[in-house]
Amino acid sequence: QVQLVESGGGSVQAGGSLRLSCAASGFTYSSNCMSWFRQGIGKEREGVAYINSDGSTRYADSVKGRFTISRDNAKNTLYLQMNSLQPEDTAMYYCATKSTCGYLLWPRPATYVYWGQGTQVTVSS
């Protein structure tokens, strides 16, 4: 069965960095598009970054220039490098995947079939 397991979350001070990982199994990883989402307390889940099977990427405006999504198809692993973290980045971060890909719908959680359990990121000021 499909499994997505996130890791790498933690607590950092503003301006710090974290690297999240998502280990994938149970599907043809190299063929699927992958995304990172986040959800803060009392907030809706929002798309953070997207990477297509060909490596092309999209980002939410709030993280452009600070976050970088990447994938290692040999290791079936998705990454999110987060730099210059701010308190507003505090949230549970999830990776998600789907096989029907496209730039228009990438930020919409309802279009994703499989989700990980999440990893908490807390940024203090």
Q: Does residue 102 carry a pLDDT above 90? A: no
Half-sphere exposure of 31 (CA within 13 A, CB side): 6
Strand 119-124 relative to strand 77-82, pairing: unpaired
Q: Are 76 and 21 in contact (CB under 8 A)?
A: no
Indicate the average pLDDT of the chain: 96
Q: What percent of the chain has pLDDT over 90?
A: 94
Q: Are 47 and 61 in contact (CB under 8 A)?
A: no
In tens, the pLDDT along 5-43 reads 999 999 999 999 999 999 999 999 999 999 999 999 999
- Rounded CA-CA distance 90/68 in Å is 17
pLDDT value for 27: 94
